């Protein structure tokens, strides 16, 4: 068997503890629903939450994480800058990062994007149709042309992000808006995937297509294990250099 991919699912885990509706949908938290939903032999999954010491993201845990999944919303400001920098460093070293839904406004995503990451939104339970715009891309393997979520929060363009390296999904909403809902980036050696669905008052993380996209994205974002490049003063040269006079 190939080496398992070490996956850490990070969740703010506040809505589930303070809102009865959310608690009813995700009694063990969204992180546990996602962990159960993508569980397979190829993944070794751990979870981490905001209120654990160091937000559950110690140096040791991040060092042993191949792909980090991030869900946050009401408490982005409570995430310590020191931990954000720790996560950014690991992404630049090659750790994969999957940012879900309202994570578009997380400190880590904004830091890696360098833009406001702002968008339009509406909590009206719109139907969402997610179209595959990059057929054959590994993240949408097994999805078909599109899939639908009966009720979701609407996110609309313009989404203030840098041009994605690859755009794999575009959402249409019942109210008429559209949104780039599956966006791939590279920062340093790390691969980043932003995936839009996942408002806390809907059972989105039980949807088989949503889980399939997340699981596919874990495979896509996992580091390859290649030797990292060397930087800086490069001595000796690979070939002898003739003296020029
Ligand atoms: Zn939301």
What is the CATH number for 24?
A: 3.40.50.880
Using the mean position of ligand 1's atoms as its centre, give its distance from the Cα of residue 151 in Å.
12
Does residue 183 have a pLDDT over 90? yes
Using the mean position of ligand 1's atoms as its centre, give its distance from the Cα of residue 85 in Å.
25
Residues surrounding ion ligand 1 at CB below 5 Å: 102, 153, 199
Using the mean position of ligand 1's atoms as its centre, give its distance from the Cα of residue 11 in Å.
14
Measured at the CA of 114, the angle between CA 111 and CA 119, to 5 degrees, comes to 100
Using the mean position of ligand 1's atoms as its centre, give its distance from the Cα of residue 73 in Å.
7
Using the mean position of ligand 1's atoms as its centre, give its distance from the Cα of residue 76 in Å.
13
Q: Number of C-alpha atoms within 13 angstroms, CB side, residue 82?
A: 7
Does residue 48 have a pLDDT over 70? yes
With respect to residue 229, please indicate whether it lies within any of the assigned structural domains: no
Using the mean position of ligand 1's atoms as its centre, give its distance from the Cα of residue 103 in Å.
9
98 SS3 class = strand
Using the mean position of ligand 1's atoms as its centre, give its distance from the Cα of residue 225 in Å.
35
Looking at residues 49-58, what average pLDDT do you find? Answer: 98
pLDDT value of residue 162: 98
pLDDT value of residue 186: 98
The confidence band for 226, taking pLDDT boundaries of 50, 70 and 90, is confident
Average pLDDT, the chain: 97
Among the ranges given (25-39, 67-81, 220-234), the one the predictor scored with the smallest mean pLDDT: 220-234
Looking at residues 167-181, what average pLDDT do you find? Answer: 98
Does residue 2 have a pLDDT over 90? no
The confidence band for 56, taking pLDDT boundaries of 50, 70 and 90, is very high
Using the mean position of ligand 1's atoms as its centre, give its distance from the Cα of residue 101 in Å.
6
With respect to residue 152, please indicate whether it lies within any of the assigned structural domains: no
For residue range 109-134, list pLDDT tens digits in order. 999 999 999 999 999 999 999 999 99
Phi-psi region of 73 (alpha: psi -120 to 50; beta: other; left: phi over 0): alpha
Using the mean position of ligand 1's atoms as its centre, give its distance from the Cα of residue 234 in Å.
48
With respect to residue 40, please indicate whether it lies within any of the assigned structural domains: yes
pTM: 0.96
Q: How many domains does the chain have?
A: 1
With respect to residue 61, please indicate whether it lies within any of the assigned structural domains: yes
Looking at residues 219-241, what average pLDDT do you find? Answer: 94
Using the mean position of ligand 1's atoms as its centre, give its distance from the Cα of residue 196 in Å.
9
- For residue 170, list its beta bridge partners: 131, 180
Looking at residues 49-60, what average pLDDT do you find? Answer: 98
Q: What letters, b where the CB count within 10 A reaches 16 and e where it falls short, cover 70-104?
A: bbbbeebeebeeebbebbbebbeebbbbbbbbbbb
pLDDT value of residue 245: 76
Using the mean position of ligand 1's atoms as its centre, give its distance from the Cα of residue 29 in Å.
15
With respect to residue 147, please indicate whether it lies within any of the assigned structural domains: no
Looking at residues 126-152, what average pLDDT do you find? Answer: 98
Q: Cα–Cα distance between 211 and 218 in angstroms, integer?
A: 11
With respect to residue 159, please indicate whether it lies within any of the assigned structural domains: no
Does residue 1 have a pLDDT over 70? no
With respect to residue 167, please indicate whether it lies within any of the assigned structural domains: no
Which domain does 10 fall in, by range? 5-114+181-221
Using the mean position of ligand 1's atoms as its centre, give its distance from the Cα of residue 2 in Å.
36
Using the mean position of ligand 1's atoms as its centre, give its distance from the Cα of residue 226 in Å.
37
Using the mean position of ligand 1's atoms as its centre, give its distance from the Cα of residue 72 in Å.
9
Looking at residues 48-68, what average pLDDT do you find? Answer: 98
Looking at residues 148-159, what average pLDDT do you find? Answer: 98
pLDDT value of residue 244: 87
The confidence band for 225, taking pLDDT boundaries of 50, 70 and 90, is confident
With respect to residue 105, please indicate whether it lies within any of the assigned structural domains: yes
Using the mean position of ligand 1's atoms as its centre, give its distance from the Cα of residue 179 in Å.
14
Q: What percent of the chain has pLDDT over 70?
A: 99
């Amino acid at each position: 068997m190939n080496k398992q991919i070490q996956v850490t699912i990070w969740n703010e885990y506040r809505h589930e503890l303070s809102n009865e509706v959310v608690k009813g949908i995700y009694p063990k938290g969204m992180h546990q629903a996602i962990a159960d939903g993508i569980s397979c032999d190829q993944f070794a999954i751990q979870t981490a939450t905001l209120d654990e010491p160091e937000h559950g993201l110690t140096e040791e845990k991040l060092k042993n994480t191949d792909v980090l999944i991030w869900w946050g919303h009401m408490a982005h400001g409570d995430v310590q800058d020191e931990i954000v920098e720790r996560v950014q460093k690991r992404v630049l070293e090659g750790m994969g990062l999957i940012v879900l839904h309202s994570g578009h406004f997380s400190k880590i995503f904004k830091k890696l994007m360098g833009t406001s990451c702002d968008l339009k939104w509406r909590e009206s339970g719109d139907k969402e149709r997610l179209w595959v715009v990059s057929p054959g891309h590994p993240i949408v393997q097994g999805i078909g042309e599109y899939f639908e979520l009966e009720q979701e929060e609407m996110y609309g363009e313009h989404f203030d992000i840098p041009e994605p390296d690859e755009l794999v999904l575009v959402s249409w909403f019942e109210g008429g808006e559209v949104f780039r809902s599956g966006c791939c980036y590279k920062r340093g050696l790390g691969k980043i995937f932003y995936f839009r669905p996942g408002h806390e008052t809907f059972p989105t993380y039980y949807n088989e297509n949503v889980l399939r996209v997340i699981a596919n994205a874990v495979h896509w974002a996992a580091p390859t294990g290649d030797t990292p490049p060397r930087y800086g003063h490069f001595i000796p040269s690979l070939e002898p250099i003739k003296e020029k006079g």
